[in-house]
Amino acid sequence: MARFSDWSKKLFTKYRRRFSPAATSGQRYFSQGRRWPSPRQLRYLPRVLSKQEKIILLGLLALFLISGIVLGIRFYLGHTKEVPVSGGEYVEGLVGNPAYINPILAPSNDTDMDISRLVFSGLFEYNEQRELVPDLAESYELSEDQKTYTIHLKNNIKWHDGQPFSSEDVLLTIEAIQNQEIKSPLALNLRGVTAEAPDGSTIILTLTEPFAPFLNSLTFGILPYHIWSDIQPVSFHLAETNLKPIGTGPYKFNSLKKDRSGNIKSYELIRNPDYYQRPAYIEKIRFVFYPDLESLIEAGRDKKVEGLGYVPKESKEFLSKNKEIVSHLLHLPQYTAVFLNQKNQLLKNLDIKQALAYAINKPEIIEQVLKGEGEPIHAPILPGFIGYNPEVKKYEFEPTKAIETLDKAGWALDEESGMRKKDGQELRFTLTTIDQPDFVATANLLKDYWQKIGVGVELRIIDGSRIEKYVIKPRDYEALLVGEIVGTDPDPYSFWHSSQGRDPGLNLSVYVNKDVDQLLEEARKTTDLEQRQMKYLHFQNILADELPALFLYNPTYTYGLNANIKGFNLNRITIPSDRFTNIENWYIKTKREW
């Protein structure tokens, strides 16, 4: 390839007659050893170069240009960072319809809880690490007798309509929860609590006895006094504000749409620019409601929504046709177990209970029913909570040991029926569960396991809308397969204390043990975490020995979210609405800053 100095000489020789006055300077140019042509000479470059040389030159120029662009982009990206900015709309699909966007009524309806979580704020909240932190509260003090909580509120907080927030709002909310006419699902949490507001920024709550997890009960949303003070308890459920709420949360009500039958089809929130924490990035959140899970999953597959409040494990493959939806597996403080009614003499027998436990193949249940999305459990306190005991006694899958246990206890196998009998009584019982895919599939596997060791099992499948009233409340079952959400604090009192064997208690095994009662009573009264830990360990060891329930697994909750929605980084939640814990950090739009 010719050098530029050679091209310069060609130009000088070929055109010297046209610019002979410059010959002397041209001669001086070469005699002085200059290797680059002057701008004037470069004008004639295209006439001198061959076609091949022109192609090479253009290629070099293009390479130079591209290299410059690439280097510029790399410099820009290396010296700037992408940051979220406000804007965009997020559309989520939910099953069901909202009825009360009111935090003291919402716990009865998951849809209400989801929306209320965005509109209202509580005195305390859980952060992304599931730690209890102040929200509307600034700080608190606990009295020496551990019965009185003095809570100081943050200043300069405003309701969505611009009115100032004060202790008067907190007082009204607590009184409404405790009012029997209103029938709030939260009433049990505040039973016996007295509240007073000495000034506009202080609330004092007094308990009848120490209760270590009490602050965990104060995460419910606060209602505005100036809206609800004139509404009588008898009209509380009928108020229009239940669907067009005023709160202090990161989002506020904008609009709703109904069909001709009055059913709400969509519900829109907009960001609260005056939110006392950093305002959210996403400008609008719109909820679209579907009658069942099948309709919701189809809407997700067809890209009609960007998020799905819940994705059943059996629907994930169908939904996967929409590659934009990412399934987030969230751990819930929930366990699924078979609760053995201890009023039933067969199921109170320890040999029978141990045999049933040894016959269960938990890994197989998790793989077949949960598609591997869960973990086996052996006690009621889950990983990550105070009192969790990985060394608790375990009943691993040992069907041979199950058979030996029944043989030793005198339950002989009747070859004709295939069932075990003792003293003329057949070893048989009914397993009741909810008509939901996970529970029905698990129940069928359990039936198969137990029949293989000679235990007769009849399945009783109950519709989810009926099981609370007709089965759980009257304790009308022999064995019950259900899941229990234990909450953010592991306090097992409501689930295992003998006083909770009747409704509204949740002692589903109707289990009675005086030592357990004492341990649970003492544990909930002390704020010494080490003491609580030891008492819970002892409690679980007793349960493992006496087996009033057969603990199966801790499932995960699947939340579907479009990959374009950034900022979601949770892996543990307490209830489904907790997926919005860090909603103010979600974003769609971005810009780059130096």
Q: How far apart are CA 513 and CA 508, in angstroms?
A: 14
Q: Are 531 and 218 in contact (CB under 8 A)?
A: no
Report the CATH number at residue 589: 3.40.190.10
CB atoms within 10 A of CB 422: 15
Number of domains in the chain: 4
Q: Are 43 and 1 in contact (CB under 8 A)?
A: no
- Quick one: 197 and 144 in the same domain? yes
Q: Are 316 and 545 in contact (CB under 8 A)?
A: no
- Quick one: 544 and 415 in the same domain? yes
Tokens of 109: 């309806």
Q: How far apart are CA 423 and CA 34, in angstroms?
A: 118
Residue after which a domain boundary falls, among 240, 267, 302: 240
Q: Could you tell me if residue 561 is inside a domain?
A: no
Q: Could you tell me if residue 28 is inside a domain?
A: yes
State the residue for tokens 């010959």: 23
Q: Are 520 and 496 in contact (CB under 8 A)?
A: yes
Each residue of 69-106: b (16+ CB within 10 Å) or e? eeeeeeeeeeeeeeebeeebebbbbbbbbbbbbbbbbb
- Quick one: 110 and 64 in the same domain? no
Q: How far apart are CA 261 and CA 497, in angstroms?
A: 46
Q: Are 170 and 197 in contact (CB under 8 A)?
A: yes
- Quick one: 220 and 258 in the same domain? no
Number of H helices and number of E strands within the chain?
A: 19, 23
pLDDT band for 198, please (50, 70, 90 cuts).
Answer: very high
* Phi and psi angles of residue 562, each rounded to the nearest 5 degrees, phi first: -65, 140
Per cent of the chain over pLDDT 90 is: 70
Structure letter (DSSP) for residue 122:
B
For position 26, what pLDDT does the model report?
Answer: 43
Mind listing the pLDDT tens digit for each residue in 529-567? 899 999 999 999 999 999 999 999 998 889 999 999 999
Report the CATH number at residue 161: 3.90.76.10
Least confident interval from 301-310, 326-335, 391-400: 326-335
Q: Could you tell me if residue 570 is inside a domain?
A: no
Residues in Cβ contact with 130 at an 8 Å cutoff, skipping those fewer than 6 apart? 384, 488, 572, 574
Give pTM, 2 decimals.
0.76
Q: DSSP 3-state assignment of 240?
A: helix
Residue after which a domain boundary falls, among 63, 79, 95: 79
Residues in Cβ contact with 293 at an 8 Å cutoff, skipping those fewer than 6 apart? 95, 310, 312, 315
Mind listing the pLDDT tens digit for each residue in 53-98? 778 878 888 888 888 888 888 877 777 778 899 999 999 999 999 9
pLDDT band for 118, please (50, 70, 90 cuts).
Answer: very high
- Quick one: 236 and 152 in the same domain? yes
- Quick one: 452 and 581 in the same domain? no
CA-nearest of 571, 555, 563 to 128 is 571
Range ranked top by mean pLDDT from 144-148, 330-334, 487-491: 144-148
Residues in Cβ contact with 424 at an 8 Å cutoff, skipping those fewer than 6 apart? none
CB atoms within 10 A of CB 516: 22
Q: Are 506 and 463 in contact (CB under 8 A)?
A: no
From residue 565, alpha-carbon distances to 39, 63, 311 in Å are 54, 38, 17
From residue 16, alpha-carbon distances to 5, 13, 34 in Å are 16, 5, 18
Per cent of the chain over pLDDT 70 is: 93
Q: Could you tell me if residue 568 is inside a domain?
A: no
Half-sphere exposure of 375 (CA within 13 A, CB side): 12
Maximum C-alpha span of the chain = 132
Partnered with residue 557 across adjacent β-strands are 330
Give residue 398's domain range.
334-556
More confident residue, 376 or 47: 376
* Phi and psi angles of residue 214, each rounded to the nearest 5 degrees, phi first: -55, -45
Q: How far apart are CA 100 and CA 431, in angstroms?
A: 35
Residue after which a domain boundary falls, among 206, 240, 274: 240
Q: Could you tell me if residue 319 is inside a domain?
A: yes
pLDDT band for 25, please (50, 70, 90 cuts).
Answer: very low
Q: Are strands 549-562 and 374-376 parallel, antiparallel or unpaired?
A: antiparallel
